[in-house]
Amino acid sequence: MNAKSFTVSRSGRRWLAGLSAVCLAALPGCSPVTSDELAPIASRHPPPPSSYPEQPVVSAPPDDGALKRVPGSAAAMTMTQIRNLNLAPDWYPSDHPPMPSVVSQGRKPDTFACGYCHYPNGQGRPENASLAGLSASYISQQMADFKSGQRKSSEPKMRAVALMVANAKAVTDEEVMISANYFASIPFKPWVRVVETDTVPKTSVSGFMLVPVAGGGMEPIGQRVIEVAEDLARTSVRDSRSGFVAYVPIGSIRKGEKLVNANARGATTSCVTCHGIGLKGQGDIPPLAGRSPSYSLRQLYDFQSGARAGKSSAAMREAVSTLTMDDMVSIVAYSASLAP
């Protein structure tokens, strides 16, 4: 967390209640928060590590030179090719329209290929985002918010987001328009299988995401979403047809459904009123159905902490201001379980 999060929003201050003594003493812009105001909030909680995977700085294992393949594709690539951020691995060219160069290559040395991180079909990964099916103007607005510094991460150590921000700062308006139109034109397909469970495999961070620790056994899920590749071998070569499985606490989907449809915790408007029936989105209000729950949880948390405070974020900051961590976990378990 950074010092900014103490000052940017009231809710940001509330979840830091445990630190309010520090806040009051040391930081300008921190006004006293009474215990009454704090009472309904149970999410005095640091950023949940399972939604903010911190990639350790390690050198990638050397390329053994072998050609990798994936089912249903005629392509073959070495790991060196697969790791090239200026050439998105495109296993299935027929799955998407022809990529403009900003998506397939980026522009050396300033920007990486959008399609590298978000995949050529825009399906994305938990540590980034699914862009397929978002509206072009929503995408452009987010690029502007990243660029202006109004959208950042509650966890500055999360390198994936730092890379996105750097990319957004370097792209031109024309590149934004072209890439936004490209991803908006692709329908988002089912991508995440949501499973309620008590126990999950022990995980660590590798390749910017959670992976089960080999021989690590199981542990209680607690109040977490644990999202891992459905097939790690395919995801590690960036196979854009191989999705994810998200483990969520037992009972969370039903709890989330209630929160989303009611005016959760005294909010003035329910989530479905804005995000549409089945959370499929409407107009420039983004769809949530079937999208990565670890991504969605990161966003809810970022709105609450004030790290995401872009031009159209006011409604969201209000909507999440009283949600607890348990509420947020339940909401994203439900939204991810819906058909896109």
Contacting positions for ligand HEC (CB under 6 A)? 102, 112, 114, 116-118, 127-129, 131, 134, 139, 141-143, 153, 160-161, 163-164, 167, 171, 175, 179, 264, 269, 271, 273-275, 285-286, 288, 296, 298-300, 308, 310, 312-313, 315-316, 319, 331
**Least distance in angstroms from the C-beta of 28 to ligand HEC:** 26
Tokens found for residue 285: 């209000």
Q: What's the rounded Cα separation, in Å, for the pair 161 and 52? A: 9
State which residue, 142 or 203, has the beta carbon closest to ligand HEC.
142
Contact 255, 324 (CB under 8 A): no
Q: Tell me the C-alpha to C-alpha distance, in Å, between residue 102 and each of 80, 125, 332.
A: 20, 19, 31
Nearer of residues 264 and 325 to ligand HEC, judged by Cβ? 264
Which residue, among 122, 129, 132, 43, has the nearest Cα to 331 in the 3D structure? 43
Shortest Cβ 34–ligand HEC spacing (Å): 25
Structure tokens, 99: 């990529």
Q: Report CA-CA distances (Å) from 266 to 14, 41, 203, 278.
A: 17, 12, 36, 21
CB of 66 to ligand HEC, least distance (A): 25
Radius of gyration (C-alpha) of the chain in whole angstroms: 20
Taking the complex as a whole, the smallest distance from the CB of residue 15 to ligand HEC amounts, in Å, to 16
Asked whether the bond before 109 is cis by omega within 30 degrees of 0, the reply is: yes
Nearer to ligand HEC, 55 or 78 (CB): 55
Q: How far is the CB of 136 from ligand HEC (least distance, A)?
A: 10
Q: Is 300 left (phi over 0), alpha (psi -120 to 50) or beta?
A: alpha
Residue type, 165: V
- Comparing CA positions, the residue from 317, 89, 335 lying closest to residue 191 is 335
Q: How far is the CB of 267 from ligand HEC (least distance, A)?
A: 6
To the nearest whole angstrom, how small is the minimum distance from the Cβ of residue 217 to ligand HEC? Answer: 30
Q: Supply the minimum distance, in Å, between the C-beta of residue 72 and ligand HEC.
A: 25
By beta-carbon proximity to ligand HEC, the closer residue of 30 and 274 is 274
- Give the CA distances from residue 46 to residues 6, 14, 246, 308, 335, in Å, rounded to whole numbers and listed in that order: 13, 12, 21, 16, 23
Q: Which is nearer to ligand HEC, 23 or 168 (CB)?
A: 168
Complex with ligand HEC: residue 23 or 288, whichever CB lies closer = 288
Give whichever of 23 and 259 is closer to ligand HEC, judged by the CB atom. Answer: 259
Q: Which two tokens stand for residue 310?
A: 């872009």
Q: Which is nearer to ligand HEC, 23 or 228 (CB)?
A: 228
CB of 214 to ligand HEC, least distance (A): 26
| Choice between 234 and 317, CB closer to ligand HEC | 317
* Residue 119 to residues 54, 78, 91, 103, 239, Cα–Cα distance (Å): 21, 17, 10, 9, 8
Question: Which amino acid appears at position 202 of this protein?
Answer: K
Q: Are 244 and 193 in contact (CB under 8 A)?
A: yes
Quote the Cα angle for 227-310-323, to 5°. 55
